[in-house]
């Protein structure tokens, strides 16, 4: 599919979703241990797919292919191009906003996950009038996030969010 789409990369997401009590045909130990190993196998799968594509075509043209993921294990950087901080809220706070993305990038860099990024302006938006809680990407949040990402992120990647019409987008003004 990478070849047919003429793609140069993809989001290799959901490497963290393995049930703690799952049953495996090839894993004879406690399944909760594999839960923590799965992100490494998920990263290896992407790396192996790119290698196989190169071998099948006797080329190295896919060596520049980039994929990013948010789940990881000790040796994941060996098999992953770039890490992504996950789905932050469109806020500036340290709990799950821009500040938390910066903390994640710094901590990741210190343990070997040196190439990382976050969704510019956050992703998870909430428009819940029942609870009178709103988490909306404002022009200020988007601008400040872009300013931070210029100096901290390996990728400068936008994302419209889970509620695009409710949030400021990069194309909304000059």
User: Of residues 4, 13, 64, 93, which has the active-site annotation?
Assistant: 13
User: Of residues 48, 87, 93, 153, which has the active-site annotation?
Assistant: 87
87 counts as catalytic: yes
13 counts as catalytic: yes
Instruction: Quickly tell me which residue has 């799950």 as its tokens.
Output: 96
**Residue-wise DSSP of 13-82:** --TT---TT---SS--S-HHHHHHHHHHHHHHHHHHHHHHHHHHHT--TTTT-EEEES---TTGGGT-SE
63 counts as catalytic: no
For residues 70 and 118, what is the distance between their CA atoms, to the nearest angstrom?
10
Active site residues: 13, 16, 87
């Amino acid at each position: 599919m990478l070849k047919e789409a003429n793609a140069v990369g993809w989001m290799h997401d959901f490497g963290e979703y393995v049930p703690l009590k799952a049953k495996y045909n090839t894993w004879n130990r406690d399944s909760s241990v594999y839960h923590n190993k799965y992100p490494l196998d998920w990263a290896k799968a992407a790396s192996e797919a790119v290698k196989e594509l190169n071998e099948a075509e006797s080329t190295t043209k896919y060596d520049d292919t980039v994929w990013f993921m948010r789940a990881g294990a000790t040796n994941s950087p060996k098999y992953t191009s770039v890490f992504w901080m996950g789905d932050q809220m469109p806020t500036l706070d340290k709990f799950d906003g821009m500040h938390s993305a910066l903390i994640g990038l710094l901590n990741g860099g210190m343990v070997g996950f040196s190439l990382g990024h976050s969704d510019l302006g956050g992703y998870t938006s909430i428009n819940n009038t029942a609870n009178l809680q709103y988490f909306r990407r404002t022009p200020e949040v988007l601008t400040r996030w872009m300013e931070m990402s210029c100096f901290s992120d390996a990728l400068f990647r936008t994302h419209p969010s889970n509620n695009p019409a409710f949030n400021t987008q990069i194309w909304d003004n000059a």
